[in-house]
A and B are shown apart, each in its own frame.
Chain A
């Protein structure tokens, strides 16, 4: 305890704080970039997985295989796979890029299942009504299904991203200067482990808590029947 108190002023120096702030920014950036891009691709994957007909069969199969495989590999293994694969293709790719790609690949698999669940929660009768009006599959998805699936998709997707903020700690293994990596560095410089990792833990909390709150807010808002949402006004001309 005495050691912590003694080290604290030195530890919370401007230089160290900048370092941690940067690391926190990097952690957040990696997670958000990876999850957002992954979320986008997940929609494409789910759409392809719905391809009807016989010629869509291999496509459906590949999509299912992708989700099932990536959900069964530990994230750290995905990171190493991406690292070694990318480094053979383009040796000068930045570690940040590699981390984002790894997060993205992983996020696609997880959010694809969330999106599929949301889409399947929309009654098939809504789709039939759209088909009967000659809406195409894409139009039906964009105009009818997704807007209704949204309340089911958004909250667990945000929960996934929030939980992933901490899982990104694993990319420190390949040397990305994110929070946990900096923590180990500072620890090696002789700062008390409790002090260092206590601060790091607080950083992770501060990163993910606002996102969690946003998720809860959206969940409440999206769960409200449309007619009762006051901010949503539609005009006709």
Chain B
């Protein structure tokens, strides 16, 4: 059974339909990557899953639980099961690294303080930032901030982790430290939906590649199928442009 099943999800910005019925699913521990041109709706899929862009239709099933985002309660339920990492990290500027990691586990999940703190320290170790617990985000490099953001998302113990172009805002030499952290998560069996432009990384890590254009899924399959032998003209065109160099 699918761990995450997205079916016919639609979303609108005002009157503009930005997702025109998106359907895909992944099993537990699998990684789906969403690829496609800018404005194709990849990031909007993740934002819709988190209820940050209003969902106007369709359903999402997570570990057998179905939600349709029709009420504030439904949205809360979805947010309770997933966590997102943003392109611009979005660490809370007024808090230390440690406070960023423990805020929601303590105040929203209301988990035990001692366990939350020791888990936060473990996660900082996992992303290689044990010595930065008391730093503020303006004291960290972009790569470090993004690794903190990754740890912050993991601290929520999400059933599914969503990564929205997490390396796009980074200097090239900082990209790998973040990708390494994601590789570790993949090894730990984290189910993830990743929006990425790093095609080499997509090829390496993805179980499923979903190619999107104009708010719709054009093709989906294994990395090999989609990246090497795309069936549609649109996908061939896209990959020939970005894979050439």
Interfacial residues, chain A to chain B (CB-CB below 8 A): 125-126, 128-135, 139, 143-144, 147-148, 225-227, 234, 236-237
Contacts and interface: CB of A to CB of B under 8 A. Distances in A.
Contacts of A236: 98, 117, 133-134
Nearest to B96: A234
B139 interface: yes
A199 to B, nearest CB: 45
B138 A134 contact: no
Contacts of B50: 131-132
A133 B79 contact: yes
B134 A132 contact: no
Given A125-B90, A225-B138, A234-B134, A132 B79 contact: yes
A129 B50 CA distance: 10
B155 to A, nearest CB: 10
Given A227-B135, A236-B117, A132 B84 contact: yes
Given A133-B79, A134-B108, A144-B94, A128 B134 contact: no
Contact of B104 (A133, A147, A226): A133
A128 B52 contact: yes
Interface string B79-95: 11001101010111110
Q: In terms of DSSP, what is the predominant structure of the interface of chain A?
A: helix
B83 to A, nearest CB: 7
A73 to B, nearest CB: 36
B186 interface: no
Contact of A227 (B80, B103, B104, B138): B138
B130 to A, nearest CB: 13
Contacts of B79: 131-134
Given A125-B86, A227-B135, A227-B138, A132 B52 contact: yes
Contacts of B86: 125, 128-129
A136 B225 CA distance: 43
B94 A147 contact: yes
A55 to B, nearest CB: 13
Q: Report, nearest first, the 10 A-B pairs whose CB atoms are least far apart.
A: A133-B104, A129-B90, A147-B94, A227-B139, A227-B136, A226-B136, A225-B138, A125-B90, A134-B79, A132-B50
B106 to A, nearest CB: 11
A144 to B, nearest CB: 6
B120 to A, nearest CB: 9
A126 B93 contact: yes
A151 B63 CA distance: 44
B56 interface: no
B76 interface: yes
Given A125-B86, A128-B52, A236-B98, A133 B108 contact: yes
Contacts of A134: 76, 79-80, 104, 108
Contacts of B96: 234
Q: Which of A129, A143, A144, A148 has the most CB of B within 10 A?
A: A129
A226 B138 contact: yes
B111 to A, nearest CB: 13
